[in-house]
Amino acid sequence: MIGYDAPAAWEWFVRRTYHHSQFDDPRALLEAKRARGSVISVCLPTLNESETIVQTIRAIREPLVEEIPLIDELVVIDSDSRDDTVKLAKAEGATVYQDREILPELEPFGGKGDALWKSLFILEGDILAFIDTDIRNFHPRFAYSLFGPLLFEEGVHYVKGFYERPIQNGGELASTGGGRVTELLARPLLNLFFPALAAVVQPLSGEYAGTREILESVPFFTGYGVEFGLLVDILDRVGLDALAQVDMDVKVHRNQGVPELSRMAFGILQVAVNRLAALGRIELCTELSNVLYQFKSVDGTYEPEPWLIEVKERPPANTVPGYRSAGGTRAAGR
């Protein structure tokens, strides 16, 4: 049940906010993992990430797979990258899947959310982490700190990373100002409709981990709305106290242009409105359009450019026939 009282958010903030330095001893994490008999899987979604995929995999594999076997499985889920991402990821020792190879009998929806949902069908772990692969200043803390609250704290099922978000301004890196979709859309929306989540510092962060138990029991939205949907649905399912957040310091990633962010925001807004209607929080009296018109200036006139931004919802994995809770190899090409 969702608690709508904002004070709960601030009690939670004090109780369930951690700093990566609290978990910088991977051996202690390994011991805790072994004590609970857990298996940890990390899924890296990629779409044309040849610039950063090597350093990402290496920074996870060397300290956290080879030196200290905290992470048991490192998988890349790619969506037909046109660059060398796949070749480079394989050379770094990651297992690589194409999202369309997983559950090939289903219509492919595409986008980040679909790739993450499909990973539930191939990963083996009972603790699963998703980590963006376009981070420029990757450090192992982006992975291991997510496991701290899950392994050490009773009752935590879902952990979000947060950080300061610099932005590239021409040749300069300004220390704040990134995360524009978060500040202009996600945060206002959450404060308006889900004040229990007002204390989540980076609700759209692309670094998060959860127990399979919770991740298999919630729907996943396709596309960029996946993080917003997961947050709201996991809150609804297990309550605020099962959520935690970890300060990962500073994250530098690819800053997208405003037109791309606008399309991303359109997808997230669709997720939010859909969810609000499904939860009975608002009533929709009309069909929603899923076309976003942007404008291109050509020779002094404006040309409308329609973008179809379809957001689909995948059902909880544990309701899909053939899903095996312990994971399982449903795809070709392992």
Q: What is the largest CA-CA distance in the chain?
A: 67
Q: Among residues 12, 40, 43, 45, which is the contact residue for ligand GDP, using CB under 6 A?
A: 45
Q: Does 310 bind ligand GDP (CB under 6 A)?
A: no
| Lookup: tokens for 289 | 């359009």
* Closest CB to Mg ion: residue number: 253
Q: Among residues 42, 65, 74, 77, which is the contact residue for ligand GDP, using CB under 6 A?
A: 77
Query: Are 238 and 152 contacting, i.e. CB atoms less than 8 angstroms apart?
Result: no
Residue 112 or 118 with smaller CB distance to Mg ion: 112
Contacts of 245 (CB under 8 A, 6+ apart): 16, 17, 18, 159, 160, 161, 162, 200, 201, 202
Nearest by Cα to 47 from 132, 121, 167, 107: 132
The SS3 call for residue 110 is: coil
Buried b (16+ CB within 10 A) or exposed e, 271-310: bbbbbbeeeeeeeeeeeeeeebeeeeeeeeeeeeeeeebe
CB of 262 to ligand GDP, least distance (A): 12
Contact window for ligand GDP (CB under 6 A) among 130-138, 144-152, 185-193, 233-241:
130-138
CB of 45 to ligand GDP, least distance (A): 3
| Lookup: tokens for 250 | 């500073």
Residue 18 or 228 with smaller CB distance to ligand GDP: 228
Contact window for ligand GDP (CB under 6 A) among 32-40, 129-137, 191-199, 286-294:
129-137
Residue 220 or 224 with smaller CB distance to ligand GDP: 224
Q: Does 99 bind ligand GDP (CB under 6 A)?
A: yes
Which of Mg ion, ligand GDP, none has residue 268 at its interface (CB below 5 to 8 Å by kind)?
none
Which of ligand GDP, Mg ion, none has residue 242 at its interface (CB below 5 to 8 Å by kind)?
none
Distance CA 229, CA 207 (A): 15
Contact window for ligand GDP (CB under 6 A) among 89-97, 107-115, 242-250, 326-334:
107-115
Q: Please give the residues from 46 up to 75 whose contact with ligand GDP meets the rule CB under 6 A.
A: 46-47, 49
Distance CA 313, CA 109 (A): 9
| Residues in contact with ligand GDP by the rule CB under 6 A | 45-47, 49, 77-79, 99, 110-112, 115, 132-134, 206, 224, 253-254, 256
